[in-house]
Amino acid sequence: MKTAVGKKADETDRLMEKASEALARTEYFEAETLCMRAWEAARAVNDFERLARICLPLQEARRQRRHEACDAPTTVVLNELPGPKQKLAAGRYLIEPPLVGIDVRTLREIADRQRVPIMALAREPLTRAGKWPIVGVGTGMREPVVVRIQVDPPQGTPSVAWFMATQEALGDAAIAKAPKPVPADHHVDDLMEHLEAVPDHEKLIQALEAACRAAVGQPISKSPRRRPIMDNPYSF
């Protein structure tokens, strides 16, 4: 009779086989969903070797979706969220006040349900220095995880290059912000929370894969994860 660990390993392997098939069919939304389900199964039993193997297919699914979003002709600036029946177009979306950082997650969820590839960023009000704060928000374990950077506003409608550069800088900040040194399993969870805040950053997924491999064979920490109080994603 198989143990709980063995059952979760089988479940993870079945999900990842389906994810690979979905990638081959270019069904990137399905592939990402299957990768995340596999992640939950493997993380439940601390199977860090399988967690590391999930990262590459997850990265590929998100890379292809990002390419589709960047190849689309549409750039949209939103100051209110779309209605429940409003169809989104593939492309780039910039959320601005009075919407706040956490609203970009809602927009991504709408796009995911519609299976529309988008790249979405949220900006806050212009600073006295003439910069745009750009914010990414993840749910976090105890409170939301928030990543912020400041960038120069674009001249006119944000270009694809501006979106790509800004997303890259936000992801770099997320990697730097993940607390360390911490126990190996804590670092995996911290990076995963930051990946929720900045989901399209390839180097962040690569850092997550490296953290998973570093956690293989390491003891599981018995102390709870602790983090400093984060910024409020509902405010500017």
Q: Over the stretch 20-63, which tens digit does the pLDDT of each residue have?
A: 999 999 999 999 999 999 999 999 999 999 999 999 999 999 99
**DSSP label at residue 200:** T
In this prediction, residue 144 carries a pLDDT of 86
Residue 235, pLDDT above cutoff 60: no
In this prediction, residue 232 carries a pLDDT of 54
Condensed to tens digits (0 to 9), the pLDDT of residues 195-220 reads 999 999 999 999 999 999 999 999 99
Alpha helices by DSSP H, 26-84:
28-44, 48-71
Return mean pLDDT, the chain.
Answer: 93
Give backbone dihedrals phi and psi of 151, rounded to 5 degrees, phi first: -135, 165
Q: What does the block give as tokens for 199?
A: 């989901």
In this prediction, residue 142 carries a pLDDT of 74
Sign of CA dihedral 212, 186, 140, 123: negative
In this prediction, residue 166 carries a pLDDT of 97
Give backbone dihedrals phi and psi of 78, rounded to 5 degrees, phi first: -115, 135
Contact indicator for 204, 195 with CB cutoff of 8 Å: yes
Q: What angle do CA 187, 145, 115 make, to 5 degrees?
A: 100
Q: What does the block give as tokens for 17?
A: 């086989």
Sign of CA dihedral 62, 176, 208, 102: negative
Tell how strand 132-138 and strand 91-95 pair up: unpaired
**DSSP label at residue 216:** T
Distance CA 93, CA 53 (A): 31
**Which of residues 179 and 18 earns the better pLDDT score?**
18
Question: Residue 230's pLDDT band (boundaries 50, 70, 90)?
Answer: very low
Question: Residue 178's pLDDT band (boundaries 50, 70, 90)?
Answer: confident
Q: Closest Cα partner for 19 from 36, 3, 4, 6?
A: 36
